[in-house]
C-alpha cells in the first residue's frame, strides 16, 4: 500500500504540473512549494476515503485509518514542532545566546514533551534535531504542515461540498499568484484558524472511527 500511496502522491504533482503548464505562460507556470504539497496530499486523502468507502474487512480498514492518522501526525504535528524548534533556535542566536549541543537539545526535548504530552519521551530524542536535513533550508518544514491541513480541508470540500471546479482552478493557477491567495480562492484561508480546525476535525473523526473499530474488534474477539 505504501507504493500505491506514493504513486497517488506523485500523480498529484504530475497533474498539478500538467494543469499549470498547459494553462499558464512559462513565467508563471512554476508553482511554489507550499502549493505543491497541497496537490500531492489531496490525492492521498481522496485515496484513503475511497479505500475506506469500498472496504469492509475490519483489519484493512484499521490499517487505512492508521496510515492516514500517522501521516497526519508526522506531517502536521511533527513538522510544526520542527518549525517551532527552528524559530526558537533563531531567536536564541538573535538574543546572543550560545548555540550548543546542550542548549539546542534542551529546547528540542522540551518541544517533544509539549507536543507529545502523555507519551514517554526517551532521553535520546533530545538529539534527533541533528539528523533533520531540512534545517539547512530555513523554515522549509512548516509548509508540509500547512500543505497537509489545506489538502485535508480541500479533499473534504470536494467530497461533501462539490468543490471540484475550485480545486481544478487552483491546479491551473500555477505560480500566477501568492500560494496563500490561490488557496483562498480554492476555499482554504490560511489566515484564519477555521481552515486548520476543519482539518483537525477530520483527524478527530478518523481517531474516533478507529477507536470504535478497535473496540468492536476486541469485543468480538473476546466473545470467540
Active site residues: 10
Whole-angstrom distance, CA of residue 198 vs CA of residue 156: 9
φ, ψ dihedrals at 64, nearest 5°: -65, -40
| CB-based contacts of 215, cutoff 8 Å, min separation 6 | none
What would the grid cell of residue 161 be? Answer: 461540498
117 by Cβ neighbours in 10 Å (0-12 / 13-18 / 19+) ranks as: exposed
| CB-based contacts of 212, cutoff 8 Å, min separation 6 | none
Alpha-helical (H) ranges within 33-178 are 33-53, 58-72, 78-94, 101-115, 142-161, 164-172
Whole-angstrom distance, CA of residue 194 vs CA of residue 215: 31
φ, ψ dihedrals at 11, nearest 5°: -65, -30
Among 103, 101, 124, which Cα is nearest to 112's? 124
Amino acid at each position: 500500500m505504501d507504493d500505491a500511496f506514493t504513486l497517488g502522491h506523485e500523480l498529484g504533482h504530475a497533474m498539478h504540473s500538467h494543469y499549470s503548464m498547459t494553462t499558464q505562460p512559462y513565467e508563471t507556470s512554476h508553482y511554489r512549494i507550499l502549493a505543491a504539497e497541497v496537490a500531492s496530499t489531496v490525492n492521498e486523502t481522496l485515496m484513503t476515503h475511497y479505500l475506506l468507502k469500498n472496504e469492509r474487512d475490519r483489519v484493512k480498514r484499521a490499517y487505512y485509518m492508521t496510515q492516514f492518522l500517522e501521516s497526519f501526525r508526522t506531517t502536521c504535528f511533527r513538522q510544526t514542532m520542527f518549525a517551532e524548534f527552528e524559530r526558537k533556535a533563531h531567536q536564541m542566536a538573535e538574543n546572543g545566546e550560545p548555540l550548543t549541543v546542550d542548549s539546542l537539545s534542551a529546547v528540542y526535548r522540551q518541544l517533544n514533551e509539549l507536543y507529545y504530552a502523555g507519551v514517554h519521551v526517551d532521553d535520546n530524542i533530545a538529539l534527533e534535531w541533528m539528523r533533520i536535513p531540512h534545517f539547512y533550508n530555513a523554515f522549509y518544514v512548516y509548509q508540509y504542515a500547512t500543505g497537509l491541513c489545506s489538502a485535508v480541508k480541500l479533499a473534504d470540500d470536494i467530497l461533501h461540498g462539490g468543490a471540484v471546479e475550485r480545486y481544478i482552478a487552483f491546479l491551473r493557477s500555477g505560480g500566477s499568484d501568492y500560494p496563500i491567495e490561490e488557496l483562498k480562492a480554492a476555499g482554504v484561508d490560511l489566515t484564519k484558524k477555521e481552515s486548520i480546525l476543519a482539518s483537525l476535525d477530520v483527524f478527530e473523526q478518523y481517531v474516533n472511527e478507529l477507536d470504535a473499530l478497535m473496540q468492536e474488534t476486541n469485543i468480538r474477539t473476546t466473545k470467540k
